[in-house]
Structure 1
């Protein structure tokens, strides 16, 4: 469990920063569009990291069973 804690902290920080970037861009300008898309990208990256983390966890579990 102690190996998962830093991973979860990083995921929470990425989601929080992405959410802040999306929510703070109320005025329509070029800079706000860039910040909004950066926020979307961070949240998408976070979901990709979650998928890779789950795949890594299950891969390690299946390797342990056979040996």
Structure 2
């Protein structure tokens, strides 16, 4: 086992801390992105299903036949 001087120990600890912060940040970002994608997919699916039945542009078929 190699012994580290105070300077090397500080650099090692700070790089380890920055790496840990980066891991925490990237996990949080990945959760936010995945949640946004899933939520968007659910909203688009619900919007499509609702718009098939409750569109304000649907006209009665009887009005077109004269």
Task: State the TM bucket, normalised to the shorter chain.
Answer: 0.5 to 0.7
- Which structure's CA Rg is the greater one? 2
Using the size of structure 2 for normalisation, the TM-score is 0.58
Instruction: Say which structure is richer in helix.
Output: 1
Q: Determine if the alignment matches structure 1 residue 48 to structure 2 residue 25.
A: yes
Q: What is the total number of aligned residue pairs between the two structures?
A: 44
Task: Give the ranges of 4+ consecutive aligned residues of structure 1 lying more than 2 Å apart after TM superposition.
Answer: none
Using the size of structure 1 for normalisation, the TM-score is 0.57
Q: What is the RMSD of the two structures over their aligned residues, measured on CA atoms? A: 2.1
Unaligned 5+ runs, structure 2: 45-66
Which structure has more relative contact order (CA 8 Å, sep 6+)? It is 1
